[in-house]
Structure 1
Amino acid sequence: MLERLFEEVYVKFKLHFYQEIFERFQMREASLTTVETFAMETIQALGSPTVNEFATFMRISPPNAAYKVNSLIKKGYVRKVQSQADKREYHLEVTEKYQSYYNISSDYVKTVVGRMRQRFSPEEQEKLTEMLQVITSELMPEVSEGIRLP
């Protein structure tokens, strides 16, 4: 039962995102491919990774990562910013163009959390918060390292 409900919540968040994307691009062609969308979500979650950090996390070769990143730069979703600490290093940053795209997903999270605050008592919210902290910090080690959500 727990597995089914957790999966249902996850799927509903994804489906809402897909609904919004299709609605926004109904009159024009979407500018990000599915793989590019995954890449952008990863870059966003990693904060400001280098191309090599992105490649390592995604388990792809650095040349393949560079190719994907260059495509995203050309489309205006990512920019390379020179590191102040090491001038040889460049970090990937998402642009305002991507932020507006990404906000489709984060806005719905805020809507659902707002509804949760209305529906659940402060004690229930505190317990859920505690459980989610354990899930993200202890039970998902495969994807926990390096993640810096906005």
Structure 2
Amino acid sequence: MDKHIDLVNDQLIRVFNDILTIEETELKKGDFSDLSIKEMHTIEAIGMREKRTTGEVAKSLSITVGTLTVAINNLVKKGYVERVRSEEDRRIVRLQLTNRGRLFYRAHQHFHKSMVKAALEEMSQDEKEALMKGLGSLHKFLKQYY
């Protein structure tokens, strides 16, 4: 069993580092070279579906609202995010992606979908289910730590 622990640990570290390296490389050479990795993850957390409050986004990123506010200020200046006041309660400010933010979001989602599709391509249904179960267990474990 210890052999499997070491092998899986090595693979997880390699995959995590490879994804970060690829994302950083693509950011530097692409149309979105003004974004940092943290800003990229912030845009992902804001998402395209509904307008979210800073508290909701901060919680999904496991950071403080103060830390998020600094990132949002930078993303607003760069033209990726805008703050929108609620019509029902003007005290509530929600975040939404601008056209540029949505363009980046779609491009980044395409990268992730391509990566996952390639990983699953040669797997049997049983292997896919085992992977999902393992990732679910890993996520549950990680959620206990933050």
Tell me the TM-score normalised to structure 2 length: 0.71
Instruction: Tell me whether 1:21 sits opposite 2:23 in the alignment.
Output: no
Asked if 2 retains the 8 angstrom alpha-carbon contact of 1:20 and 1:104, the reply is: no
Aligned to 1:8: 14
Other structure's SS at 1:79 match: strand
Aligned to 1:139: 141
Instruction: Tell me whether 1:58 sits opposite 2:63 in the alignment.
Output: yes
Q: How many residues align?
A: 135
Shift of 1:4: 1.3
Instruction: Tell me whether 1:42 sits opposite 2:42 in the alignment.
Output: yes
Aligned AA (2:63): M
CA–CA separation in structure 2 for the residues paired with 1:98 and 1:125 = 32
Other structure's SS at 2:24 match: helix
Shift of 1:125: 0.4
Percent of counterpart pairs with the same letter? 24
Other structure's SS at 2:84 match: strand
- Flag the structure with more relative contact order, 1 or 2, with Cα contacts below 8 A and sequence separation at least 6: 1
Tell me the TM-score normalised to structure 1 length: 0.69
Aligned AA (1:109): H
Instruction: Tell me whether 1:109 sits opposite 2:112 in the alignment.
Output: yes
Shift of 1:10: 0.7
CA–CA separation in structure 2 for the residues paired with 1:142 and 1:104 = 31
Aligned AA (1:15): T
Deviations 1:125-147 (A, max 9, x none): 011112222322x1122687xxx
Which 4+ residue blocks in structure 1 deviate beyond 6 angstroms?
none
CA–CA separation in structure 2 for the residues paired with 1:121 and 1:15 = 29
Deviations 1:83-137 (A, max 9, x none): 355331011122231233344443232122222332110110011112222322x
Q: CA RMSD in A?
A: 3.0
CA–CA separation in structure 1 for the residues paired with 2:86 and 2:96 = 11
CA–CA separation in structure 2 for the residues paired with 1:120 and 1:8 = 20
Shift of 1:45: 1.8
Specify whether residues 81 and 44 from structure 1 end up closer, same or farther in structure 2 by C-alpha distance, changes over 3 A only: farther
Instruction: Tell me whether 1:129 sits opposite 2:132 in the alignment.
Output: yes
CA–CA separation in structure 2 for the residues paired with 1:40 and 1:12 = 16
Aligned to 1:96: 99
